[in-house]
Amino acid sequence: MRAIKVSGDTLSWEAYEAPSEVPENHVAIDIAWTAINRADLMQKAGVYPPPPGASDILGLEVSGTISRVGEGVHNLKPGDEVCALLTGGGYATHVVVPAVQVLPVPKGYSLKEAAAIPEVFATAWLNLYHEAALKPGEKVLVHAAASGLGTAVIQLATALGNPVFATAGDNDKLEICRRLGASGVWNRKDGSFVDAIKSWGGVDMVLDPVGGNYIAEDQKVLNMDGRIILIGLMGGRMAEVDLGLMLMKRHRLIGSTLRSRPVADKGDVMSALYKHVWPLLSARQIDPVIDSAWPIEKAGEAMAYVAENRNIGKVLLQVAG
């Protein structure tokens, strides 16, 4: 097989030894498409190593066709078009993955479209409806809202009855957020978002991939029993927290990652997606937002494009087809 090899700042498309066995309860996928996530940029930079036992090849989601299935797999078969959530290994021609992390491509979707679904919608569901346990009508603040994840969060939360306030650093991006359903927006380049969100009525949950000095600002806009779900550290790993306010308003600050969770937990998330999100996708009530598609050989250029925050939605890499 072939895969992207990282050597310092250089990415190259090279020959690798293909997996020879498909373990019990796993499937092998011939990859058609993969997608870029922030975690890939961090791993490439050497600051986010893969969990123990995971492939060191970049890539946390793919779409493609099942080529083989291991013992114990009964709901999937060779020839099925699928998309999958990975712990690593997506920037390649083949991957072996636990079957519980694999779902059929939603009805009416191409393999290209399906590659934009697994990581962002799994992360959105996990954090909105598991970690934060949102109730209907509760309001959400999402930062970096024009990202692949942000655009998924806006659509999913809105579809399930949770109004969204979106922040981003570009007015064109905020216009896209409005079109996707955000009922409030703020350009971070205009200063603090606190007053704008307070006038919107505050929020019950913040999905924060930034951290750093955003945490103190997040606290100021949280309603009683509000939750901050921290999923990234783009703004730094040190933050000031008002513990008095946390106690007085019963706030919770929750750190959340998807990649390092056990297979069973990821399977639970994917099962919830199939039950609650797949019908919305198949009905086109929500859609993954795709910014652009690049050949896998240009993965380095595509990752630089994402690092510069130029994308709105997902950036895909074509492996085959």
Q: What are the pLDDT digits (tens) for 78-134?
A: 999 999 999 999 999 999 999 999 999 999 999 999 999 999 999 999 999 999 999
Q: Are 142 and 250 members of one domain?
A: yes
Computed on alpha carbons and rounded to an integer, the radius of gyration of the chain in Å comes to: 19
Is the per-residue pLDDT at 306 higher than 80? yes
- CA max distance for the chain: 59
What total of structural domains would you count in the chain?
2
Q: Are 161 and 174 members of one domain?
A: yes
What range defines the domain where residue 282 resides? 2-117+259-318
Write b or e for each residue in 86-99: b if 16 or more Cβ atoms lie within 10 A of its Cβ, otherwise e: bbbbbbbbbbbbbb
CA nearest to 318, candidates 301, 293, 290? 293
Is the per-residue pLDDT at 314 higher than 90? yes
What are the phi and psi torsion angles at 306 (to 5°)?
Answer: -70, -40
Q: Are 149 and 248 members of one domain?
A: yes
Is the per-residue pLDDT at 62 higher than 80? yes
Q: For the chain, give the mean pLDDT.
A: 98
Taking only the tens place, the pLDDT of each residue in 163-221 is 999 999 999 999 999 999 999 999 999 999 999 999 999 999 999 999 999 999 999 99
Q: Are 40 and 108 members of one domain?
A: yes
Q: Are 240 and 132 members of one domain?
A: yes
Q: Are 146 and 245 members of one domain?
A: yes
Q: Are 205 and 247 members of one domain?
A: yes
What CA–CA distance (Å, rounded) separates 124 from 210? 16
Task: Return the residue matching tokens 């997040």.
Answer: 218
Q: Are 240 and 140 members of one domain?
A: yes
pLDDT band at residue 293, thresholds of 50, 70 and 90? very high
Q: 13 - beta bridge partners? A: 4
Taking only the tens place, the pLDDT of each residue in 23-58 is 999 999 999 999 999 999 999 999 999 999 999 999
Is the per-residue pLDDT at 77 higher than 90? yes
Q: What is the DSSP string of 175-200?
A: HHHHHHT-SEEEEGGGS-SHHHHHHT
Is the per-residue pLDDT at 230 higher than 90? yes
pLDDT (0 to 100) of residue 301? 98
Residue that terminates a domain, selected from 236, 255, 274: 255
Is the per-residue pLDDT at 225 higher than 80? yes
Q: Are 71 and 96 members of one domain?
A: yes
Write b or e for each residue in 147-174: b if 16 or more Cβ atoms lie within 10 A of its Cβ, otherwise e: bbbbbbbbbbbbebebbbbbbbeeeebb
Q: Would you give the end-to-end CA distance of the chain in angstroms?
A: 15
Looking up residue 138, the CATH number of its domain turns out to be: 3.40.50.720
Residue that terminates a domain, selected from 255, 270, 296: 255
Q: Are 54 and 102 members of one domain?
A: yes
Looking up residue 14, the CATH number of its domain turns out to be: 3.90.180.10
Q: Are 236 and 271 members of one domain?
A: no
pLDDT band at residue 247, thresholds of 50, 70 and 90? very high
Other beta carbons within 10 Å of 127: 25
Q: How many residues can be counted in the chain?
A: 321
Q: What is the mean pLDDT of residues 153-167?
A: 99
What CA–CA distance (Å, rounded) separates 285 from 119? 19
Is the per-residue pLDDT at 321 higher than 80? no
Contact (CB, 8 A) for 210 and 144: yes
Q: Are 143 and 99 members of one domain?
A: no
